[in-house]
Amino acid sequence: MVGPNGGPNGGPNGNGGGGGNGGELVFADENQIILPEIITAVSSLNNSQISNAIALLLPYTTEENYFSLFSDVSTIQGLLAAITTHNANVSSGGSTGGGNGDGNGGGNQFGSEKIYTPFAQTDIVTANKTTVTSGLFSNGAATLTSHFSASLLGDTSASYVEIYNADPDSDSTAQVQFAVGYAHIHGSGSIGNSTKTTSGNRETAALYRQFRNVLLAPGEEKFKFTSSPSSSGHEDFYFVVFNRAQMREKVDPGNWELHLSSSALGGALVGAPVKLIDDSGATTNPDVNVSGRVFNVVTGSIQSGVADIKTTAAASTTVGAPGLFYPDLGIILLNPDFISGSAGINAAKAANTFGNNARTFYNAVSKSRYTAARREEEITSRSYFTRARNDKYNFSANPTYKTGSKLENGETIRGNFKVASFKGDPRAYITQVGLYDTDNELIAVAKLSQPILKSFSREAVVKVKLDY
């Protein structure tokens, strides 16, 4: 460091390099409030003048307090923050006196403590990422057996319907789990003419373009389902989009199952529902495009814990495979031609006509009473080793730690230790650790399961682990 009033490496009492006053630091006998005009003068300097700024503070700080608060500061902003701490300590009765190492300053008063300790490079360790899975739906549920929609949505014009885990019309805790809907490249099944120049929302066309922009490479116009007889691609699809808040990072491939049923009687299923999964378990080298990994949707089930594929994508040659699955985006696209033949769900494709296809698809999902999915996340762990050396953090700012100020022989005596044995041997208990940014703003708090005794004869290391 560059010592105030001296040359480089100037130390206290003239033990440093030459220049100026020979590197001598002259301290106050007792800590005092740093005056506003001094603070103004400090704030007018820049970081290259930090030595000059610190020199202005010497008449107001003891040697111990200087090395606790000011000696390691390298910026004007940091110095101003340290001044604020200094003045607060002096006003409250702490950080006064010429400290003798027993925490009693000038005999009865508290010595200063450095409240921030920067981490050394070796104190921070980042572990490898760990992949974890959990149920995708609210409260970590892996299955959804009841599906609800808002009564005012999807009834007159909407081309998608949001699905809740509870009735949103009567339950304020209901949360959106995923959305289902229908898209058509020319806007069929929604209002608006083919020229797109008259009024009408043509939602299905807008939805098709939105999915295309996100999922397909530039130049690709249509979605192609494996083994489809149409080499140019399909003009429409049903979609399932998982809510980001539920999905978080991605959907776990091989761990979702969607049931579709076209009919129900008295609340009971009529016939077996169509069961759809992905073929990730049978795919060693999945396709990867601009949207990330892509798997085929196939018929089958995972309810046994192992994927049981009934019909492969390659075998679905009549109308094409059931669909496509994009795990990194939480999107499932389903082939309407396949769904129509297997589940009896027929899309209304009349031009400039509201087909209510989203509601029809929602009914097929709701009547099946079964949707399963898990989410997948990569968790990075970072450990901070917070080290409290024997000479640090031995005092407490808790008001119960000391007595109140009193008048003695015409002199105001700041508070003494409430525990008399702390004189000469101050002790404190660590109950929590705060992590601060470079602006000394608190960003995280770690609370200990039980207090740790700290004194001049004891050191402590607390490992704080952050997962993100």
Each residue's pLDDT tens digit, 197-206: 455 558 899 9
Residue 352: per-residue pLDDT: 83
Q: Are residues 267 and 343 in the same domain?
A: yes
Q: Are residues 46 and 64 in the same domain?
A: yes
Buried/exposed code over 301-321 (b: 16+ C-beta within 10 A; e: otherwise): bbeeeebebeebbeebeebbb
Residue 358: per-residue pLDDT: 92
Q: Please write the tens of the pLDDT for every residue from 223-268.
A: 999 888 877 899 999 999 999 999 999 999 999 999 998 764 444 5
Does 323 score more than 90 pLDDT? yes
Q: Kindly report the backbone phi and psi dihedral angles of residue 153, in degrees, each rounded to the nearest multiple of 5, phi listed first.
A: -110, 140
Tally of residues, the chain: 468
**pTM to 2 decimal places:** 0.61
Does 158 score more than 60 pLDDT? yes
Taking alpha carbons only, the member of 185, 189, 335, 184 closest to residue 260 is 335
Q: Are residues 324 and 451 in the same domain?
A: no
Q: Which residue has the higher pLDDT, 435 or 90?
A: 435
Q: Are residues 66 and 199 in the same domain?
A: no
Average pLDDT, the chain: 81
User: Sorting pLDDT into bands at 50, 70 and 90, what band is 269?
Assistant: low
Taking alpha carbons only, the member of 103, 379, 101 closest to residue 249 is 379
Does 39 score more than 80 pLDDT? yes
Q: Are residues 145 and 279 in the same domain?
A: yes
Q: Which of 39-43, 213-217, 423-427 has the highest mean pLDDT?
A: 213-217
Residue 266: per-residue pLDDT: 46
Does 415 score more than 80 pLDDT? no
Dump strand ranges (E) for 26-152: 124-126, 130-135, 143-144
Does 112 score more than 60 pLDDT? no
Does 54 score more than 80 pLDDT? yes
Domain end position, chosen among 327, 359, 376:
376
Q: Are residues 243 and 125 in the same domain?
A: no
User: Sorting pLDDT into bands at 50, 70 and 90, what band is 430?
Assistant: very high
* CB contact at 8 A, 178 and 232: no
Residue the block writes with tokens 């020979």 = 22
Q: Are residues 157 and 279 in the same domain?
A: yes
Domain end position, chosen among 82, 112, 142:
112
Residue 242 and residue 44: Cα distance in Å, rounded?
55
Q: Which of 6-15, 104-113, 320-329, 382-391 has the highest mean pLDDT?
A: 320-329
Q: Kindly report the backbone phi and psi dihedral angles of residue 55, in degrees, each rounded to the nearest multiple of 5, phi listed first.
A: -60, -30
In Å, what is the CA distance from 441 to each residue of 78, 94, 98, 116, 217?
12, 22, 29, 11, 44
Does 271 score more than 70 pLDDT? no
Q: Are residues 190 and 327 in the same domain?
A: yes
Residue 320 and residue 326: Cα distance in Å, rounded?
18
User: Sorting pLDDT into bands at 50, 70 and 90, what band is 10?
Assistant: very low
Q: Which residue has the higher pLDDT, 289 or 145?
A: 145
Q: Are residues 357 and 391 in the same domain?
A: no
User: Sorting pLDDT into bands at 50, 70 and 90, what band is 91?
Assistant: confident
Residue 404: per-residue pLDDT: 67
Burial of 358: CB neighbours in 10 Å, binned 0-12, 13-18, 19+: buried
Q: Are residues 301 and 364 in the same domain?
A: yes
Taking alpha carbons only, the member of 81, 89, 99, 82 closest to residue 33 is 89
Taking alpha carbons only, the member of 145, 174, 170 closest to residue 162 is 174
Strand partners, 464: 384
Residue 89: per-residue pLDDT: 85
Residue 128: per-residue pLDDT: 75
The answer for residues whose C-beta is within 8 angstroms of residue 76's C-beta and 6 or more apart is 42, 43, 45, 46, 47, 49, 50, 53
In Å, what is the CA distance from 315 to each residue of 226, 290, 298, 417?
9, 26, 10, 83
CA angle 300, 246, 304 (to 5 degrees): 25
Q: Are residues 97 and 198 in the same domain?
A: no
User: Sorting pLDDT into bands at 50, 70 and 90, what band is 76?
Assistant: very high
Q: Please write the tens of the pLDDT for every residue from 333-355.
A: 999 999 988 887 899 998 888 88
Q: Which residue has the higher pLDDT, 400 or 3?
A: 400
Residue 232: per-residue pLDDT: 84
Domains in the chain, number: 3
The answer for residues whose C-beta is within 8 angstroms of residue 208's C-beta and 6 or more apart is 183, 184, 185, 236, 237
Q: Residues 42-68: what's their mean pLDDT?
A: 87
Least confident residue range of 34-38, 399-403, 449-453: 399-403
Which pair of structure tokens corresponds to residue 109? 């008063």
User: Sorting pLDDT into bands at 50, 70 and 90, what band is 14?
Assistant: very low
Domain end position, chosen among 50, 82, 112:
112
Residue 131: per-residue pLDDT: 86
Task: Tell which phi-psi region holds residue 156, choosing left (phi > 0), alpha (psi between -120 and 50) or beta.
Answer: alpha
Give the domain extent around 99: 1-112
Q: Are residues 335 and 423 in the same domain?
A: no
Q: Residues 7-20: what's their mean pLDDT?
A: 34
Q: Which residue has the higher pLDDT, 430 or 282?
A: 430
